[in-house]
Structure 1
């Protein structure tokens, strides 16, 4: 895996990490939406969907921003 990443440009691993974090943000958004619309208010889950959404969105924005900066300056 390390040799594959070494053959990439500098912006490509950051773009991959950003896309993974963005996918996690979308998944956690759906989880939070499902938690908010549950029919049984006593059926509380254990996943902190709001926190996962918030932090994965921040990571996605930062990593995709860094990837775009490296891509445009290359």
Structure 2
């Protein structure tokens, strides 16, 4: 069970990094009217919460 939780936490960490890069790209865009449909800060916060939960569960087992 623990290897699965560590794998999931790695996925959440990768998603948090990717969403941070997406938020940075969105913040630095040249055309302010070219808005995307993904709310990157929300995706990053949810992935960080998932990361904390899976790491906590992995340490518990």
Residues 1:26 and 2:11 aligned together = no
Structure label with greater radius of gyration:
1
Query: How many pairs were matched up?
Result: 61
| Equivalent runs, 1:50-65 vs 2, <5 Å | 50-65=41-56
Normalising by the residue count of structure 1, what TM-score does the alignment of the two structures yield?
0.76
Residues 1:12 and 2:3 aligned together = yes
Show structure 1 runs of 5+ residues with no match: 1-9
Residues 1:36 and 2:27 aligned together = yes
* Bigger relative contact order, structure 1 or 2 (CA pairs below 8 A, ≥6 apart): 2
| Aligned counterpart for 1:67 among listed residues 55, 58, 61 | 58
Runs of 4+ in 1 over 4 A off after TM superposition: none
| Aligned counterpart for 2:38 among listed residues 20, 40, 47 | 47
For 1:29 and 1:58, the matched residues in 2 are separated by: 14
